[in-house]
């Protein structure tokens, strides 16, 4: 999202924050399936640049998470006997997504959101759909080859994500001091290219997506070491057992049938639009285990 779009969204978020208690009292706590039936529409939150999870190509929203949410919408249509159910796609950011769920601006958040115990105090998550390694992207000519080489360096993370806490925790344990900064994803990426930062730490799949779409890809590399691993889940409002069951049952059925793996291979092991780049990220052992034994365990 460019700076002008962010500024247009800012007054909207302030207004949502101001009315949050009232909105929650006057209908957000209504079961989501009932709200969808009443409105004749489901509001699906998506990212605009989250390759390969959810991103824009022209006016279309595509990606791994969007394909999964499309299957969930199909299940809702069947559950509510509403074949013409309208899908309203709503752009969200890392900073706005939780608030938009809480206020009812969206019913599902279909991006690349880490399931954490802290976030579970605000929202619920469906079964884990991806397990990401958290890596550092650096300039290829920077002489940085391992995490220890980041001592004294400027390390940027995406504002509104869990990565900053993870980085600080890992570096503290290792006794490595860094200069931490945060910025929106695209800005953080540019900071490394312009040498305003030495490393950009983010989930490996998202970094791979950014690299795949960048003409500066040869100038950058990912370090082999991981800061840690993070489970992704589709987020929904808390305390809505029927809606969560529908989401979990849909995902579990896809995992069991092999459909989830086919969709995974479509986005992570095959050429993807718009540039037909293959990210070549094989399914990890952790994700295979999550598919064999579906769970919504956060970190």
User: What CATH number should be reported for the domain holding residue 75?
Assistant: 3.40.190.10
At residue 181, φ and ψ (nearest 5 deg) are -135, 165
Contact 178, 170 (CB under 8 A): no
Look at the pTM and tell me if it is higher than 0.75. Answer: yes
pLDDT per residue, tens digit, the chain (299 aa), is 333 344 444 444 444 444 444 444 345 789 999 999 999 999 999 999 999 999 999 999 999 999 999 999 999 999 999 999 999 999 999 999 999 999 999 999 999 999 999 999 999 999 999 999 999 999 999 999 999 999 999 999 998 888 988 999 999 999 999 999 999 999 999 999 999 999 999 999 999 999 988 999 999 999 999 999 999 999 999 999 999 999 999 999 999 999 999 999 999 999 999 999 999 999 999 999 999 999 999 99
Consecutive H or E run containing 57: strand 54-57
Claim to verify: residue 10 and residue 84 sit in the same structural domain: yes
Work out the number of other CB atoms within 10 angstroms of the CB of residue 293: 10
Provide the domain count of the chain: 2
Helix (H) or strand (E) holding 235: strand 235-237
On whether both 173 and 221 belong to a single domain, the answer is yes
Domain match, 28 and 160 both: no
Residues 195 and 248 in one domain: no
Q: Are 173 and 203 found together in one domain? A: yes
Within a domain: 69: yes
Range of the domain at 65: 3-129+233-292
Do 140 and 258 sit in the same domain of this protein?
no
| 289-296 contacts at long range (C-beta below 8 A, 24 or more positions apart) | 290/127, 290/128, 290/131, 290/231, 291/255, 291/260, 291/261, 292/255, 294/127, 294/128, 294/248, 294/251, 294/252, 294/255, 295/127, 295/128, 296/115, 296/124, 296/125, 296/126, 296/127, 296/128, 296/233, 296/248
Helix or strand or coil: residue 47?
A: coil
């Amino acid at each position: 999202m460019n700076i002008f779009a962010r500024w247009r969204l800012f007054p909207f978020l302030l207004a949502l924050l101001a009315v949050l208690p009232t909105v929650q009292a006057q209908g957000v706590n209504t079961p989501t399936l009932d709200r969808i039936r009443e409105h004749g529409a489901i509001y699906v939150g998506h990212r605009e640049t989250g390759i390969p999870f959810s991103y824009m190509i022209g006016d279309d929203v595509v990606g791994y998470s969007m394909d999964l949410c499309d299957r969930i919408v199909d299940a809702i249509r069947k559950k509510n006997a509403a074949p013409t159910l309208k899908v309203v796609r709503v752009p969200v950011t890392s900073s706005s997504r939780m608030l938009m769920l809480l206020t009812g601006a969206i019913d599902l958040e279909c991006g690349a959101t880490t399931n954490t115990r802290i976030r579970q105090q605000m929202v619920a998550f469906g079964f884990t759909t991806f397990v990401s390694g958290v890596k550092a992207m650096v300039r290829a000519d920077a002489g940085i080859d391992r995490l220890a080489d980041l001592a004294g360096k400027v390390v940027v993370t995406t504002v509104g994500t869990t990565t900053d806490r993870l980085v600080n925790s890992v570096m503290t344990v290792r006794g490595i001091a860094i200069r931490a900064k945060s910025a929106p994803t695209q800005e953080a990426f540019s900071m490394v290219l312009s040498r305003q930062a030495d490393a950009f730490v983010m989930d490996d799949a998202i970094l791979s997506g950014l690299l795949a779409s960048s003409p500066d890809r040869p100038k950058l590399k990912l370090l082999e070491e991981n800061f840690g691993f993070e489970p992704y889940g589709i987020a929904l409002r808390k305390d809505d057992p029927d809606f969560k069951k529908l989401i979990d049952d849909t995902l579990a059925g896809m995992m069991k049938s092999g459909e989830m793996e086919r969709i995974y291979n479509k986005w992570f092991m095959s050429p993807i639009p718009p540039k037909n780049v293959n990210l070549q990220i094989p399914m990890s052992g952790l994700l295979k285990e999550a598919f064999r034994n579906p769970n919504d365990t956060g970190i």
